[in-house]
């Protein structure tokens, strides 16, 4: 018995294209005399199951048919997608000032325990952490988490707050430690001259001062210079006096409001409009509002 050896080429990739110039017949068996099942169009992509002895076994409308191998060609293999290069995340930094003037320095206020510590930071360097900066700007004060690249400084601890001033390279920049404040206060005390007793109503501005919190009941001790007026009712008539002095006291604070007791020494004459010189030391109860707070414990 003789056996014919038939070579069948298994297809790893089964997508082919019809290369004939006209329609390509699909036959029921691998023979030019076999029944025609249909045709493929020129250039049509077809699915080849196997190729043997010049005939390609193909899929056609859910059936199996045969076409001549010389009228088809394999489609090129698609190139595998190239991996996208890994993008490195840029290092986040907050630019303070982009220029490099000579002999100008900022100070970075950092917290160490319950104390504020100052460390120098040159203009043009970056701050990598989100810190608070307390600065004296053109005779006024402000504080911010950030000094913008154009030199602007926010007036409160917010990027969206109003700008309180500009930093200029030719100006020195002063940093104010935590717990400094400005304050507007109203107070009352009772003084006397000789045999006269007088009631005093005080309106005071503390341009700046320093406060020390005493935990846990939010009591503070404060001290600072004072400017203001005092109204008195000497001899059944009211008169006013401008006063400059120093003072200190105890307060109980709630947010920016406080109530407490102040002790003040006035350098100016008290009740000079009444022709009387009184004791320039006053002990008065006060209600106050801190309209600018320059620092805080972090």
The CATH number of the domain holding residue 34 is: 2.30.30.40
Examine residue 158 and state whether it is found in any structural domain, yes or no: yes
- For residue range 103-116, list pLDDT tens digits in order: 333 333 333 333 23
Phi-psi region of 19 (alpha: psi -120 to 50; beta: other; left: phi over 0): alpha
Can you give the pLDDT at residue 197? 64
- pLDDT for 282 equals 80
Q: Is residue 95 part of a domain?
A: no
Looking at the domain assignment, is residue 91 inside a domain?
no
Residue 98: inside a domain, yes or no? no
CATH at 168: 2.40.160.20
Supply the pLDDT for residue 62: 87
Same domain, 158 and 278: yes
Average pLDDT of the chain to the nearest whole number = 67
**Would you state the pLDDT for residue 279?**
60
Exposure on the CB side of residue 139, measured as CA atoms within 13 A: 0
Nearest CA among 286, 288, 285 for reference residue 257? 288
Q: Does residue 270 belong to any structural domain of this protein?
A: yes
* Boundaries of domain holding 156: 121-294
128 DSSP assignment: -
155 and 263 within one domain? yes
pTM more than 0.75:
no
Give the helix/strand (H/E) hosting 256: none
Whether 155 and 55 share a structural domain:
no
Distance CA 212, CA 223 (A): 9
User: Considering 74, 93, 108, which residue would you say is the last residue of a domain?
Assistant: 74
* Residues, the chain: 298
| 176 and 277 both lie in a single domain | yes
pLDDT (tens place) for every residue of the chain, 298 residues total: 444 444 444 444 588 999 988 899 999 999 988 999 999 998 899 999 999 989 999 999 889 999 999 999 998 877 777 777 776 766 655 434 333 333 333 333 333 333 233 333 334 434 433 333 434 333 333 444 344 444 444 443 333 333 444 444 333 444 455 677 888 999 988 765 444 567 778 898 888 888 888 877 778 898 999 998 888 776 666 677 788 899 999 899 887 889 999 888 888 765 444 445 556 778 889 999 887 555 433 3
Judge whether 251 lies within some domain.
Answer: yes
Could you tell me if residue 45 is inside a domain?
A: yes
Q: Does a structural domain hold residue 164?
A: yes
- Backbone φ and ψ of 108, nearest 5°: -95, 120
With 0-12 / 13-18 / 19 or more C-beta atoms within 10 angstroms meaning exposed / middle / buried, residue 60 is middle
Residue 288 belongs to what H/E stretch? strand 281-293
Long-range contacts formed by 77-86: CB under 8 A, 24+ apart: 77/13
| CA distances in angstroms from 267 to 162, 241, 247, listed in the order given | 37, 12, 11
Q: Which of 186, 284, 273 is nearest to 233 (CA)?
A: 273
Same domain, residue pair 51 and 127: no
- Give the separation between CA 285 and CA 288, rounded to whole angstroms: 10
Q: Are residues 145 and 27 in the same domain?
A: no
Q: Is 152 exposed, middle or buried (0-12, 13-18, 19+ CB in 10 A)?
A: middle
pLDDT of the residue at 233: 76
* Domains contained in the chain, number: 2
169: Cβ–Cβ under 8 A, 6 or more apart, which residues? 97, 99, 101, 104, 123, 151
Distance from C-alpha of 30 to C-alpha of 171, rounded to nearest angstrom: 96
Q: Terminus-to-terminus CA distance in the chain, angstroms?
A: 100
Task: Map residue 92 onto helix, strand or coil.
Answer: coil
């Amino acid at each position: 018995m003789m056996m014919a050896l038939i070579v069948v080429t298994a297809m790893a990739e089964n997508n082919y294209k019809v290369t004939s110039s006209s329609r390509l017949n699909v036959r029921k068996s691998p023979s030019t005399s076999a029944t025609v099942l249909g045709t493929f169009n020129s250039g049509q992509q077809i699915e080849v199951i196997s190729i043997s002895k010049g005939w390609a076994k193909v899929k056609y409308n859910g059936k199996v048919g045969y076409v001549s191998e010389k009228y088809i060609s394999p489609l090129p293999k698609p190139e595998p997608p190239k991996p996208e290069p890994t993008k490195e995340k840029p290092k986040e930094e907050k630019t303070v000032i982009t220029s490099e003037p000579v002999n100008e320095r900022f100070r970075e206020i950092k917290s160490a325990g319950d104390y504020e510590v100052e460390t120098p930071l040159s203009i043009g360097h970056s701050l990598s952490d989100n810190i608070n900066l307390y600065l004296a700007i053109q005779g006024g004060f402000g504080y911010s988490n950030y000094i913008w690249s154009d030199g602007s400084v926010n007036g409160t601890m917010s990027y969206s707050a109003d700008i309180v001033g500009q930093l200029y390279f030719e100006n020195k920049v002063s940093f104010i430690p935590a717990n400094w404040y400005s304050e507007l206060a109203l107070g009352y005390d009772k003084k006397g001259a000789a045999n006269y007793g007088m009631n005093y109503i005080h309106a005071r501005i503390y341009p700046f001062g320093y406060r020390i919190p005493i935990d846990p009941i939010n009591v503070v001790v404060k001290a600072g210079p004072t400017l203001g007026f005092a109204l008195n009712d000497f001899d059944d008539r009211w008169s006013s006096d401008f006063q400059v002095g120093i003072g200190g006291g105890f307060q109980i604070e709630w947010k920016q409001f406080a109530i407490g007791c102040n002790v003040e020494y006035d350098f100016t004459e008290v009740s000079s409009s009444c022709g009387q010189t009184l004791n320039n030391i006053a002990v008065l109860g006060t209600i106050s509002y801190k309209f600018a707070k320059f620092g805080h414990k972090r």
